[in-house]
Amino acid sequence: MSEKYSRGSKCPSCRTALRPDAKFCHECGAPAGEQSDANQQDWKRLAPFVVLIAVVGAILVSALGYFATQQKDRSIPRQSDVVSSSGQFEQPVDLSTMNPREAADRLFNRVMIADESGDTAQAMQFAPMALQAYQRVDPPDADIHYHMGLISLVLGNLDEARQQIEKVKRDSAEHLLGLALAMRVAKRVGDDKAASDILARFAAAYDAEIGRGKPEYEAHRNTIERLHASATGLTTTEASNQSPKPPESGAQLFASRCAGCHGRSASGSDKGPPLVHQIYEPGHHADASFYQAVRQGVKSHHWSFGNMMPIPGISDKQIGQIVTYVRNLQVENGIK
């Protein structure tokens, strides 16, 4: 009949199970030693496995915490959210996919919508981000300085807003957006005389400035027309109807009607061929061929982009402006 040995009582030399009262190992004859010695040896052997289990457990806990945080963050509007004209959040957009100007304008719109809707906390949160985004745009234009001035007003930084006014004026001393920004500053500090003087300057400069056809004037048409209405005493609609509409240049017409297929500066795209190309030199494609292509369309023959469809709603005068623009581009690139 086999003897029952106490669990954990082992020979420190050969690890044979021993009786509780054994002084020597019955297998190898080594002194049995103290129970604690055997347990200590066991612990030394198990220690690496215990440490490994602890490390794996810590990693799992950290991973679970991270995913829990990510799930929670999905419910919080992020910097990259799109804000519609109604002020509602739409699908998230990654600002990193945009060029610096697009990202800055996206943030600017968010700041202004929040400010106009009375959401001061959100406006203050995104205003510094918008300023930083515009600072990365090089070179900045008058429109950017106007935007930065408006954002500075949201932040309550009047000195910075005044600096942006001076930068807008580098383009034109009577730039309408510079005057519009100056009007906002005057009203913010309660300077009625300065506001009245600015309004008079705005009215005097309006026709000549609008006639310059600057793209920022069109982008901020509503703001400009409201201020013009205040300056003339007319309603906004009446003031707008009396405003001379700036003529579109050949470059502007090409950008709005042709560049979608023929690319920026007529350099071509994946939808249409380049017009700045030897094939379209005047000796091979006369100006009349451009008029015909716009009016009647043209079947694909030199390129494999498919047939060109007629372009409706464009006058012969406008086609002529586009042709002149393209011919100038061709000459600049050595095509005559």
- Give the pLDDT band (50/70/90) at residue 201: very high
Q: Which two structure tokens, joined as six digits, stand for 260?
A: 């979608």
pLDDT digits (tens, 9 = 90+) for 216-263: 888 888 889 888 888 877 444 544 555 555 566 888 888 888 988 898
Whether 72 shows a pLDDT value over 50: the answer reads no
Average pLDDT over residues 87-110: 71
What pLDDT does residue 187 have?
92
Span 53-74, average pLDDT: 60
Q: Which domains does the chain have, with CATH numbers?
A: 139-246 (1.25.40), 250-332 (1.10.760.10)
Handedness of CA 111, 95, 140, 262 (dihedral sign): negative
Render pLDDT for 290-307 as a digit per residue (tens, 0 to 9).
888 888 888 888 888 888
Instruction: Please list, in sequence order, all residues whose beta carbon lies within 8 angstroms of the beta carbon of residue 225, skipping any fewer than 6 positions away.
Output: 236, 239, 240, 243
pTM over 0.75: no
- Looking at the chain, how many residues does it have? 336
User: How many other C-beta atoms are found inside a 10 Å radius of the C-beta of residue 53?
Assistant: 10
d(CA 120, CA 67): 31
